[in-house]
Amino acid sequence: NAGVTQTPKFRILKIGQSMTLQCTQDMNHNYMYWYRQDPGMGLKLIYYSVGAGITDKGEVPNGYNVSRSTTEDFPLRLELAAPSQTSVYFCASSWADRSGNTIYFGEGSWLTVV
Amino acid sequence: GNSVTQMEGPVTLSEEAFLTINCTYTATGYPSLFWYVQYPGEGLQLLLKATKADDKGSNKGFEATYRKETTSFHLEKGSVQVSDSAVYFCALQNANKLIFGAGTRLAVHP
């Protein structure tokens, strides 16, 4: 029962470093999402994808990039890490059709930028 | 635009007390509504959902009714347990994207 798998679970970055958060799902979902959750706050959508080769910006895309070369994988890249990107990141996926969908979340990646 | 407003926490209750967590929304069209729960150190799990007006979602003793006239989706449980301690998020779905409220922390004491 893998579902949505994110790596790494914890990471400390120095300001200006780059890294990629990996996300993979084994449910053959067409939609995938990246959210960030700041302390005491709800989740904000960073980027999402409606299928392989298609990505779009969410509410807070600045400082991030994504790609979707396969149905299963949706990595999130931070090019020049900044302290404001210290957060918990959640990848999610869903099968979306006209009847609606349920979004399934990974366990989260805790990122600290110092 | 679309938005979700939840009551601020923390909510602190004794075991077996009645729980209500208020949630109201603003949306264009006819969104689906959700409650997600986040236990300490974990990701979000779907608790319940409702896809149209007057639908009632229920799971694990929790209930919420989609009220279009009051644009609300309040979460209720008749008798909470210590194991219900978590953060609860109300969310609406529009165009296959979820918009979350800020979350309400629930602490249940024996």
Token pair, residue A113, equals 């930028």
Q: What is the pLDDT of residues B34-73, one digit of tens each?
A: 999 999 878 889 999 998 899 999 999 999 999 999 999 9
Q: Please compute the mean of the pLDDT values over residues A81-85 and round it to a whole number.
A: 95
Q: Which of A33, A36, A37 is nearest to A47 (CA)?
A: A33
**Nearest Cβ partner for A107 among B4, B42, B49:** B42
CB proximity list for B7: less than 8 A, separation 6 or greater: B21, B22, B23, B104
pLDDT at position A97:
62
Q: Compute the mean pLDDT over every residue in chain B, rounded to the nearest whole number.
A: 92
CB atoms B97 and A45 under 8 Å: yes
Q: How confident is the model at residue A98 (pLDDT cuts 50, 70, 90)?
A: low
B13-50 core/surface letters (b: 16 or more CB in 10 A; e: else)? beeeeebebebbbebeeebbbbbbbbeeeebbebbbbb
Is A99's pLDDT higher than 70?
A: no
Distance from C-alpha of A87 to C-alpha of A35, rounded to nearest angstrom: 10
CB atoms A105 and B44 under 8 Å: yes
From chain B, the residues in CB contact with A50 under 8 A are: 96
pLDDT at position A90:
95
Runs of H (alpha helix) within chain B? none
CB atoms A94 and B96 under 8 Å: yes
